[in-house]
Each structure stands twice: as structure tokens, then as C-alpha cells.
Structure 1
Amino acid sequence: MVRRWWAPFLVNLLLGVPAVVPIWLVWYLLVNWPLAELGWTVREPTENDGMALWLVIVAPVVAVSGLIWWLANESLRRRTALAPRSFWLLCGLVPFLPTAALIAL
């Protein structure tokens, strides 16, 4: 039985390494479509094929990544002594650490 906080931390840190790809895809989609339409960002000038193709690419990648994340954490949740709120907060924020590290570099 896993009783420590570091087990979900390590699992989600490892899940965060491949999660760099779906995080980047969602960021790219947001910057070039809804945020550009609102005038908050400038669309990539060479991105003139439309965003429907990006939705076909992004949706399955994000869905599979989210499913893997949820299945790993749901099975881990039953074996940890952390409170549910603390557990899900930890599991929701830790996968962004590898992306943050890449941005900081």
C-alpha cells in the first residue's frame, strides 16, 4: 500500500514527460485559433490551411493522454493516504513541471 505523497508525485512527473506533446498541441491550437480570433495573439502567417486539420490531430492525442493520466491516477488514488483534494491537486499540477522546465530553458 502506497502511503507517501511522493509516489503520486513521481508517477505524475513521469507522465508529464510525454505530456509535453499534448500540452504543446493545445497551446498551439489556442494561440492560432480562438485567441487569434479575439485579437489577443497574432496567428502564425504560414498557418493558412485552417484549424479543422489541427482538431483532427489534437483531439485524439489529448484524449489518449488524458485517459492514460486518469487511469494511472485513479488506481493510485485508492492506494494512497492523501486526502482526495490534495491528491488531485498534486496530480493536476505536477505533469506541467517538465513543460515548465522546458520553457525555463
Structure 2
Amino acid sequence: MARRWYTALGVNLLLGIPGVVPLWMLWYIASNWPLAELGLTVREPTENDGVMPALVLCGPVVLLFAVLWWLANRPLAERTALTAGGYWLLSVLATLLPTAALFANS
């Protein structure tokens, strides 16, 4: 069963649902500091504590999700019939799909 591409699609779609939270955290950090410094976004006016509190709060959540995503995908990548590049592309896009659906709906 793991040799089929839709197994990887299903696993990563399910991982993408709770993955909305760490992706939002990454966007929050990026939009308030590096992208705001470049002039690409506008910093939240009440965000004046600096980047360290955000990294302390968001870092463990993002790291935990990344480790769980890797542990779920590594065994599937070895057993699937897809090429390595095709598998990882499918995995990343399927994980981002719930977040993209929320963006499209808002």
C-alpha cells in the first residue's frame, strides 16, 4: 500500500491540518522582522519586544512539527514508487494545501 502516491498525499494532507499553526508562526516572525526590515510588509505596531520572545515561543512548536513531518515522511519516501524529487515535492505541496485553503478562504 505504501508504494502508491496517494498514501503520501493522504499522510501529508493530514499532517498539513495541524501544520497550519507552525506555518502561521513562521509567517508571523518573517512578516514582523526580516520582511518588515526590507520594506515588504508592515510591522505590527504593538510588537516592540524584539524577535527573541517570538523565537522562544514559536521555535519549539516549529521544530516539533518539522521533526514529526520528517519522521512520518522518511519511511514512506523509501517505500514509495515515486522518484525522490517527486515524492518530496508531493509531500511539501500536500502539507501546504490546508494553509493555502485557509488563505484562499480569508
Q: Report if TM-score (shorter chain) is over 0.5.
A: yes
Deviation digits for residues 9-67 of structure 1, max 9, x if unmatched? 00000000000000000001000011111121111001112211001112111111000
Structure 1 segments unaligned to the other structure (5+ residues): none
Aligned to 1:99: 99
What RMSD over aligned residues (CA atoms) do the two structures have, in Å? Answer: 1.0
Which residues of 2 match residues 4-83 of structure 1 at below 5 A?
Answer: 4-83=4-83
Q: How many residues align?
A: 105
Q: TM-score, normalised by structure 1?
A: 0.95
Deviates more, 1:4-13 or 1:46-55: 46-55
Structure 2 segments unaligned to the other structure (5+ residues): none
User: 4+ runs of 1 displaced by more than 3 Å?
Assistant: none
**Identity over the aligned pairs, expressed in percent?**
58
Amino acid at match of 1:90: L
Amino acid at match of 1:63: L
Q: TM-score, normalised by structure 2?
A: 0.94
Partners of 1:76 and 1:3 in 2: CA distance: 8
Deviation digits for residues 61-97 of structure 1, max 9, x if unmatched? 1111000000000011122111111111111111000
Partners of 2:95 and 2:2 in 1: CA distance: 19
Partners of 1:74 and 1:95 in 2: CA distance: 14
Match of 2:79, SS? coil
